[in-house]
Copies of this chain bind each other. A is one copy, B any other.
Amino acid sequence: MERILVIKVGGNIIDKEEALHQFLQDLSKINTPKILIHGGGKIATQLSKQLGIESKLVNGRRITDEKTIDVVTMVYAGLINKKIVAQLQANNCNAIGICGADANSILSHKRVNNLIDYGFVGDIDEVNMDFFLSLLEKQLTPIIAPITHDKNGLLLNTNADSLAAAIAIALSKDKKVSFYYCFEKNGLMENVNNDDSIISHVKSSEIEQLKEKQIITDGMLPKIDNIKYALENGVEKVILCHAQNILSNVNENAKFGTTFTKN
């Protein structure tokens, strides 16, 4: 096991049954050892609404209160995670669904912020690399829900992008890691309105310049900051691509997306 693929799939794919189905079929065809981290999508928000749980915002930031952590635990670590696992199993991919509390695999702490109490939100402290490697060695494919724990009994809502980056970084200490960031766009585009204007390669050092040029803006900013952080902490390459291109990108050297490298 020389190379490991760490694959993040976003909520926008999770929400679309057919897109998710195709993505999981493609994922099953990848033979390289792989770990999937999935986002949450809209199901938790819909469920909260149905249950009459108001979504709380403080200074424009979403708060995870006690009822909401229960809902996201149910939806992310229960419904979404197990549906993904069952579909992968049907495609002969031996998946195992876990969250960060399982096997103490991802340790976090409740976010400390003097201005806003975010509630049950976790910032990651430690990834148990040995555990993930032991699963991969057994030809298992870990499927990770974005819920972590503080080892004092609290489950914590954790940003799936940060979680994926933390896992990619941890595994990079021992292995070569290709980190695939799959979402509903084709990659980073020179012109956001032109799907053919994909920038095929970006060096970490060019990122600030792309921000200044407004090529990296808005919703792309936190994603790219995560990518930069991953590259600066040992991840060999990050591929930002459409979820529907995961298989062709793995087989054809990231032809259909943007590849980020340190140098």
Q: Which residues of A contact B (CB under 8 A)?
A: 47, 50-51, 70, 73-79, 81-83, 85-87, 89-90, 94-99, 101-104, 134, 138, 140, 147, 149, 151-155
Is B99 within 8 A of A103, CB to CB?
Answer: no
Interface of A is mostly: helix
Report B-chain residues with C-beta under 8 Å of the C-beta of A138. 134
Complex Cα–Cα for A50 and B96 (A): 31
What number of copies of this chain does the assembly contain? 2
A153 & B87 in contact (Cβ 8 Å cutoff): yes
A50 nearest in chain B by CB position: B51
The 7 closest A-B pairs by CB, nearest first: A78-B78, A90-B153, A74-B74, A74-B78, A96-B103, A96-B102, A86-B101
Given contacts A82-B147, A149-B86, A154-B86, contact A98 B101 (CB under 8 A): no
Q: Which residues of B contact A86 (CB under 8 A)?
A: 101, 149, 153-155
Expressed in whole angstroms, the minimum distance between the Cβ of A18 and any Cβ of chain B is: 14
Q: Which residue of B lies closest to A90 (CB)?
A: B153
Which residues on B sit within 8 Å (CB–CB) of A47?
A: 51
Shortest beta-carbon distance from A92 to chain B in Å: 9
